[in-house]
Structure 1
Amino acid sequence: AAAVLVRENDPQAELFILQRGMAMSYVLLDDGSRQILRFLYAGDMLAVSALVYRDSPETVVALTDCTVCSFDRSAMTGLVTDHPRLSALIMVMNQMEKVALTDRLAALGRTSAKARIAALLLEMRNRMRMRDRAMGNSFTLGLTQEEIGDATGLTAVHVNRMLRQLEEDGLIRREMGRVTLLNEVQLAQAANYIDRFDGLDLRWLPPAR
């Protein structure tokens, strides 16, 4: 079974930085189904909700072999006081997550199944590219079709059908667990996708001490 870092509704006082690997956060709904909220990559902070909640509102689980650095939320007091730039960057990351979740919510309610899958592929590639600027249009997906479905509100069968359709449309290629984006412009149009990483403006950040 995958390693669980934080379990929904359990007491939570630690935060984590994902140093290596890939993880995800999710909630369980009343009918027992799972809604995946975020996929997490190296450099992401996990369980930030510990800053404001006693019990965790989500489960965070590793998808691959992961290395994490944990620290108690009490350490944030000194960080905010002594390292204002770092604390501001944490606020920036949280705002980026909020916008990403807003986009996902809008997609779940208003876009087609094909658009949801296309948007997820673009978002994953762009998240990975933030940490590897040399990355091209090919990447390891690292997800099952069930996991993709739980992130997009679709069944695994429907996910498989939409991936095949994107291939038939000449927008992606799948091979040995890797996905290649063949026509990024048309894929973004099909997804109604906005690259939120492209418009970042962090000039206001305080200088490092």
Structure 2
Amino acid sequence: MAERLAHYVTLTPSEEEALGQLEQQERSFRRGATVRGENDLGRELFIVQKGWLYSCVLLSNGSRQIMRFHFPGDVVGVTSLAFGRSIDSITAVTDAVLCPFDKDRLATVFEEHPRLSALIFSISLAERASLADRLASVGRTSARARVASLLCELLARLRVTGGADLLEFHVPLTQEEIGDATGLTAVHVNRMMRSLVDDGLIARNGSTIRILDEARLTAEVNFINRYAQLDTSWLPGAR
């Protein structure tokens, strides 16, 4: 988590120590395991140390809508801060290691380190804006644009810790999982992926994606990197 936040500001030793204290415990989950179900009680939040996960809501017809994918450095279960019960289900995409902590411990970090509090709040707003962009894409754009937009979003988020020059990345998602994030069937996802490959926008090697023409890809879907636009000029001073 400290590595992710350090992308935006230079952390002080005391800030790094405070964040490190949230990752003192580890809990392992196998691929497909449910970390927490929808409407479950729980005061815990989780920092992702290894692996990928997703948050989803289950619909009455048995289908699911994946709202967000989670990578190392992400805080999962943030809605526990506002509600007594989970509003979504958290599932491991791959084998994963999470660091659980009670939300009271985060309250202590916020009290003692207001700059971290403001930065985490800003990142949460960027995540909300990114989710709104994807929902607009799902509701108003073509199938190809939905898949391309999701790839752009994943790349933008992975660059926070992987570096601005990152063009090739591992995507351990099934076509069904991509479909549940974009409102498409697995068959349709496969066709759209092939279309992006055929047009020279991306290359695929198993679960590895390489962006070949980023400018054309982002222009096609009018992608906005919300994480690159984060304004940190207003943050309070570090303690």
**In 1, are the aligned partners of 2:38 and 2:87 still within 8 Å (CA)?**
yes
User: How big is the shift at 1:117?
Assistant: 0.5
Matched, 1:7 2:37: yes
The Cα shift of 1:188 comes to 0.9
Residues 17, 44 of structure 1: 8 Å contact kept: yes
Q: Which SS does the other structure have where 2:107 is aligned?
A: helix
Q: CA deviation at 1:57?
A: 0.4
- Secondary structure in 1 matching 2:227: coil
2:165, 2:53 → 1: CA distance? 20
- After TM superposition, the structure 1 = structure 2 runs for residues 1-209 of structure 1, keeping only pairs within 5 Å, are 2-133=32-163, 135-209=165-239
Question: Can you list the C-alpha shifts for 1:141-169, whole angstroms capped at 9, x where unaligned?
Answer: 11100000000000000000101111111
Tell me the secondary structure at the aligned position of residue 54 of structure 2.
strand
How far apart are 1:134 and its partner, in Å?
A: 6.1
CA shift, 1:65, in A, is 2.1
Cα shift readout 1:103-150 (whole Å, capped 9, x = no counterpart): 011111111100010011111111111111165311111110000000
Separation (CA, whole Å) in 2 of partners of 1:106 and 1:26: 17
Identity, % of aligned pairs? 48
Comparing 198-207 with 24-33, which one deviates more in the overlay?
Answer: 198-207
Structure 2 distance, partners of 1:26, 1:68, is 18
TM-score normalized with structure 1 length: 0.95
Q: Distance in 1 between the 2:217 and 2:210 partners?
A: 11
SS of the aligned residue for 1:74 comes to helix
Q: What is the root-mean-square deviation of aligned Cα atoms in Å? A: 1.3
TM-score (norm 2): 0.84
Q: Which sits farther off after the overlay, 35-44 or 193-202?
A: 193-202
Quick one: distance in 1 between partners of 2:110 and 2:209?
A: 40
- Count of aligned pairs: 209
Kindly tell me: are residues 6 and 180 of structure 1, through their superposed partners in 2, closer, same or farther at Cα, counting changes over 3 Å?
Answer: same
- Residues 114, 190 of structure 1: 8 Å contact kept: no
Query: What amino acid maps onto 1:62 in structure 2?
Result: A
Query: CA separation in 2, counterparts of 1:141 and 1:18?
Result: 16
The structural deviation recorded for 1:67 is: 1.8
Distance in 1 (alpha carbons) for counterparts of 2:117 and 2:98: 19
**Contact map agreement 2:123 2:230 (CA 8 A) in 1:** no
Unaligned stretches of 5+ in structure 2?
A: 1-30
Distance 2:121 2:166 in 1: 29
CA distance in 1, matches of 2:146, 2:164: 26
